[in-house]
Amino acid sequence: VAIGREAEATFRLLVESVKDYAIFILDASGRVSTWNAGAERIKGYRAEQIIGRHFSVFYPPDVAATGKCELELEVASREGRFEEEGWRVRQNGSRFWANVTITVLRNPEGELIGFAKVTQDLSLRRAAEQAERTLAAERAALAERERIQHFQERFLAILGHDLRNPLASLDMGVGVIKQRTTDPTTLRLLERMGSSSQRMSRMIEQILDLTRIRLAGGLQLNPQPMDLREALEPIVHELRGAYPLQEIEFKYEQASGSWDRDRLQQVFSNLISNAILHGVKNTPVHVDVRLEQSVVHIQVHNEGPPIPVELQSELFNPFRRGARDSRTAKTAGLGLGLYISRELVSAHHGSLDLQSDATSGTTCRVTLPRTTVISR
């Protein structure tokens, strides 16, 4: 197509003055031979600084080293054009995200005379896209958190009311019928129903605690000035009643402090029951309290085969139970006792450990600071 000289000059002016695109020509070997205002703006070089240099200077050095530039020219000459989006480098070394088109230029005889290269700086667009993606991800995360929170609240409500309440009324019903019955078979049955519902409500309480620890931000303590005896004696008494043949030796040294009594009872109830249920039948269980300056040590000891060392720390994980079966399936728990106990002792800023070996049996040792300041 023949165009007039004037039109050609106008066209050249147009290309030279375009600011949004770098438009320039590479000779057949890839050296820059023209430059426009957009190229200067985007890439940073002035015409006299760049004309004659190979266009690989526009690529990150590690990319240029792979022979990518030569490959692009090869593709352009074979297929007529090459296009991609990728990282390019400005004169000052900073990178920008670019859309690049390389078009082959041939004379009327079909000989390759060079390449036209158009580069657009997409950094702004890319940054906007990235910001949009981040925003979308944040929104999704928020929605997910809300969904989980809703689920947690529902779950806690089910455990706390929907399951607990009917169980309480069953338990009450059993108690009322028991008082009106003299038939020994019925009484035995009611006895069993009563202890089943008690076991079940204990399990519900444990699952509630687990949910509070894992999902609802932890267990709340309500520490009050008290004597440790208030936490231990009722439990020892209760367990002596529940296991009349079991000897429980209780050695006590007066220890006052600031603790959550109900929660400590829960800890000792589990530790002493563990010693009774998982220890050797008809051997005494020892409960010792020892004061040491600002801390109290409480030890619960039972005899029995040692717990393998590798299992000892495992037992503190939720639902983790020992290899051996407990005495009877009836007394089998969920395996949450030690986990919750340790959480409760930690909430008091204390520690709970277990030691077990062949000569001395198994000992659970609780160390409590005498004052618990709850920081929330």
Ligand X SMILES: Nc1ncnc2c1ncn2[C@@H]1O[C@H](COP(=O)(O)OP(=O)(O)OP(=O)(O)O)[C@@H](O)[C@H]1O
In the complex, which residues of this chain contact ligand X (CB under 6 A)? Answer: 206, 270, 274-275, 278-279, 302, 304, 307, 315, 321-322, 333-339, 362
Min CB(368)–Mg ion separation in Å: 19
Task: With CB under 5 A as the rule, give the number of residues binding Mg ion.
Answer: 4
Nearer to Mg ion, 270 or 302 (CB): 270
Binding mask 293-332 for Mg ion (x = CB under 5 A): ----------------------------------------
Cα distance between residue 92 and residue 90, in whole Å: 5
Asked if 274 touches Mg ion (CB under 5 A), the answer is yes
Nearer to ligand X, 274 or 367 (CB): 274
What is the number of other CB atoms lying within 10 angstroms of the CB of residue 166?
11
Asked if 367 touches Mg ion (CB under 5 A), the answer is no
Min CB(333)–Mg ion separation in Å: 5
Min CB(96)–ligand X separation in Å: 59
Phi, psi of 366 (to 5 degrees): -105, 130
Question: Is 307 within 8 Å of 356 (Cβ atoms)?
Answer: yes
User: Considering only CA atoms, which of 262, 301, 245 is closest in space to residue 278?
Assistant: 301
Min CB(196)–ligand X separation in Å: 14
Contacted by 86, from ligand X, Mg ion, none: CB < 5 to 8 Å by type: none
Nearer to Mg ion, 106 or 324 (CB): 324
Secondary structure (3-state) at 20:
coil
Among 197, 270, 302, 367, binds Mg ion (CB under 5 A): 270
Question: Which position's Cβ is nearest ligand X?
Answer: 333
Nearer to Mg ion, 266 or 270 (CB): 270
Asked if 269 touches Mg ion (CB under 5 A), the answer is no
Tokens of 158: 């089910």
Min CB(202)–Mg ion separation in Å: 10
Min CB(265)–Mg ion separation in Å: 14
Tokens of 100: 């690049």
* Residues 305/310/311/317 CA torsion (nearest 10 deg): 160
Q: Is 326 left (phi over 0), alpha (psi -120 to 50) or beta?
A: beta
Residues 6+ apart with CB under 8 A from 74: none
Contacted by 315, from Mg ion, ligand X, none: CB < 5 to 8 Å by type: ligand X
- What is the full DSSP assignment across 77-126? HHHSEEEEEEEEE-TTS-EEEEEEEEEEEE-TT--EEEEEEEEEE-HHHH
Nearer to ligand X, 226 or 334 (CB): 334
Contacted by 269, from Mg ion, ligand X, none: CB < 5 to 8 Å by type: none
Q: Is 196 exposed, middle or buried (0-12, 13-18, 19+ CB in 10 A)?
A: middle
Min CB(253)–ligand X separation in Å: 22
User: Considering only CA atoms, which of 85, 80, 28, 24 is closest in space to residue 50?
Assistant: 24
Nearer to Mg ion, 274 or 302 (CB): 274
Compute CA distances 271 → 161, 260, 287, 296, 339, whole Å. 28, 17, 10, 16, 11
Site stretch for Mg ion (CB under 5 A), options 29-37, 138-146, 257-265, 273-281: 273-281
Min CB(351)–ligand X separation in Å: 16
What's the number of CA atoms in the CB half-sphere (13 Å) around residue 134? 6
Asked if 337 touches Mg ion (CB under 5 A), the answer is yes
Residues that bind Mg ion (CB under 5 A): 270, 274, 333, 337
